[in-house]
Amino acid sequence: MRNPGKRRGGYQKPTIENEDLSIIQSLVEEKNDLLLRELCDRYAVRTGISVSITTMHRAVEKLGLRVKKKSLCQ
């Protein structure tokens, strides 16, 4: 018998909504050489929502944009 109180699987609401993709696009247009980490930080400042680098990478790909993934060690 299944426990009716325990949720399994199903749809998970995206962290970055489609309406917020325009915010990411404007951040990249303002400065297109941002690292993904910097883009996450600026997105959090503007929206109050913290996202992972992976989530930001997916959003940037969805928009068809390109940003730096990581900085070079010197």
How far, in Å, CA of 74 to CA of 70, rounded?
A: 12
Task: Please state the pTM of the whole predicted model.
Answer: 0.75
Q: Indicate whether 3 belongs to any domain.
A: no
How far, in Å, CA of 6 to CA of 13, rounded?
A: 18
Q: Would the pLDDT of 74 be above 50?
A: no
Domain of 27? Answer: 18-63
Q: Are 16 and 24 in contact (CB under 8 A)?
A: yes
Q: Indicate whether 10 belongs to any domain.
A: no
DSSP state of 15: S
Q: Indicate whether 2 belongs to any domain.
A: no
Q: Indicate whether 12 belongs to any domain.
A: no
Task: Tell me what pLDDT residue 1 has.
Answer: 54
Q: Strand, coil or helix: what is 30?
A: helix
Q: What is the pLDDT of residues 17-69, one digit of tens each?
A: 888 999 999 999 999 889 999 999 999 999 999 999 999 999 999 999 888 76
Give the number of domains in the chain.
1
Q: Indicate whether 68 belongs to any domain.
A: no
Q: Indicate whether 23 belongs to any domain.
A: yes
